[in-house]
């Protein structure tokens, strides 16, 4: 499990432990699992999928920034 | 004082009291909303600040992060469009002026005032200004700030300025607001540390992979970083302005209220005095006529 935080200028929109995130970046869709290497990536518009223990959340995003460091991923978006 | 004079005075102070208490209620609402907006976006802005730290090792020699020989500096000062907010504008403008004088010793400085009050202050002081931004609403929005941040980035990249400073009022609480300054460009972690509200713990030095490439990151992220940093500072200033106005108006209406009480007392005394005098006159006249 890893911690995922989604931040927008409106506040912290999402802060939970998840199993996996599948997210569209400029260099293609990537999936981030626990123990991913530290990464900063530019996101592009598309569908983001967050897989948690119980559910799968799918959401359209318009681009943003992804930062992965240790077992924590922070996604900065304009809107969520 | 004459009775009529006092009555007029009571009337005018009551009017002031009505006005200030209406303004107090209004700015209390605005204060709540602007505080909420500023506080909500803080984590986002802080994270943006922290990102600078992560990308700094990789992007140190890029324009946005490289120190160039300093000739011209730009100081962006954020004040408000409207007055009636206690010492809010005075505080930020005075401290900005002091900072600007200090920077002047090292380089040539141009000031970019945000808010009518800042514009008129610097014009009066004869400080060189360029472009001014007025009309940012009660709650700044990204759309309103975009032209400002685009201009700052463009003139920095074009090498019109080698250093950009940002001065604004940081919102601490309803009763405390602090004028602050950061060096916005070049982006340096050393200067943003305090802004990001982060001690050195937390983020560990780790080799960070940058995707797709540092070039794209610079092109995509740096303008956004700058934009959001300015945005947050405007929000903080908004929250500070409304808080300062609320407090100032509360003090003003309290004072006005107190003054009405005092004047009413004076009025009653004068009235009584007059009645006593009249009774006195009547009774003495009666005695004489006796």
pLDDT for B284: 94
Q: Which residue in A16, A12, A21, A13 sits closest to A4, CA to CA?
A: A16
pLDDT for B279: 95
SS3 call for B210 = strand
By residue range, what is the domain housing residue A67?
A: 2-77
Question: What is the per-residue pLDDT across B145-202, written as a single tens digit (0 to 9) for each?
Answer: 889 999 999 999 898 999 999 999 999 999 999 999 989 888 887 777 777 765 445 5
| Cβ-Cβ contacts under 8 Å, B224 against chain A | 65
- Asked if pLDDT for residue B203 goes beyond 70, the answer is no
| CATH architecture for segment(s) B28-244 | 3-Layer(aba) Sandwich (3.40)
Q: Provide the CATH number for the domain around residue A69.
A: 2.60.15.10
Give CA torsion, residues B276, B281, B283, B284, to 10 deg: 130
Question: What is the per-residue pLDDT across B57-91, written as a single tens digit (0 to 9) for each?
Answer: 777 777 777 888 888 999 999 999 988 888 899 99
> With 0-12 CB in 10 A as exposed, 13-18 as middle and 19+ as buried, what is B115?
buried
> Buried b / exposed e across B36-53, counting CB within 10 Å, b at 16+?
ebbeebbbbbbbbbbbbb
SS3 call for A68 = strand
Give, in words, the CATH class of B3-21+247-284.
mainly alpha
- DSSP states of B148-180: HHHHHHHHHHTTS-SEEEEEEEEE-SSS-EEEE
Q: Do A41 and B48 touch (CB under 8 A)?
A: no
Of B208, B216, B228, the CB nearest to A42: B216
Segment among A40-49, B100-109, B200-209 with least mean pLDDT: B200-209
Mean pLDDT of chain B: 88
A75 Cα to chain B: minimum distance (Å)? 10
pLDDT for B267: 94
Domain ranges of chain B: 3-21+247-284, 28-244
How many domains does chain A divide into?
1
Going by their DSSP bridges, the two strands A11-18 and B108-114 should be labelled as: unpaired
pLDDT band at residue B14, thresholds of 50, 70 and 90?
A: very high
- Asked if pLDDT for residue A73 goes beyond 80, the answer is yes
- Residue in B closest to A6 by C-alpha: B44
Select the residue from A10, A42, A43, A63 to test the B interface by mutation, using most B Cβ atoms within 10 A. A42
């Amino acid at each position: 499990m890893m911690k995922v935080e989604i931040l927008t200028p409106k506040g912290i929109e999402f802060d939970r432990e998840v199993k996996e995130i599948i997210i569209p970046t400029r260099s293609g869709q990537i999936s981030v699992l626990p123990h991913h290497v530290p990464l900063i990536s530019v996101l592009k518009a598309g569908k983001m999928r967050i897989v948690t223990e119980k559910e799968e959340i799918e959401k359209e995003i318009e681009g943003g920034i992804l930062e992965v460091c240790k077992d924590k991923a922070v996604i900065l978006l304009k809107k969520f | 004082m004459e009775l009529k004079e006092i009555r007029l005075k009571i009337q005018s102070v009551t009017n002031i009291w009505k006005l200030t208490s209406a303004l107090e209620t209004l700015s209390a609402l605005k204060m709540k909303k602007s505080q909420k907006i500023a506080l909500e976006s803080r984590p986002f802005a802080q994270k943006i600040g922290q990102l600078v730290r992560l990308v700094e090792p990789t992007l140190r020699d890029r324009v946005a992060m490289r120190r160039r020989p300093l000739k011209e500096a730009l100081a962006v000062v954020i004040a408000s469009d409207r007055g009636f907010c206690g010492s809010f504008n005075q505080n930020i403008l005075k401290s900005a002026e002091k900072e600007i004088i200090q920077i002047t010793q090292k380089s040539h400085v141009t000031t970019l005032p945000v808010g009518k009050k800042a514009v008129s202050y610097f014009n009066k002081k004869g400080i060189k200004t360029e472009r001014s931004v007025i009309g940012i609403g009660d709650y700044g929005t990204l759309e309103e700030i975009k032209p400002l941040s685009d201009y700052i980035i463009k003139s920095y990249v074009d090498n019109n300025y080698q250093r950009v400073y940002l001065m604004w009022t940081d919102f601490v609480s309803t009763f405390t607001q602090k004028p602050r300054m950061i060096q916005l460009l070049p982006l340096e972690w050393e200067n943003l540390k305090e802004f990001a509200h982060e001690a050195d713990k937390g983020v560990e030095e780790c080799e960070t992979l940058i995707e797709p490439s540092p070039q794209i990151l610079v092109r995509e992220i740096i303008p956004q970083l700058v934009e959001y940093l300015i945005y947050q500072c405007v929000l903080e200033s908004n929250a500070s302005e409304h808080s300062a106005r609320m407090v100032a108006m509360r003090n003003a209406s309290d004072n006005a209220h107190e003054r009405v009480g005092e004047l009413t007392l004076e009025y009653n005394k004068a009235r009584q005095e007059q009645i006593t005098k009249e009774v006195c006159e009547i009774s003495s006249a009666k005695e004489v006529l006796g």
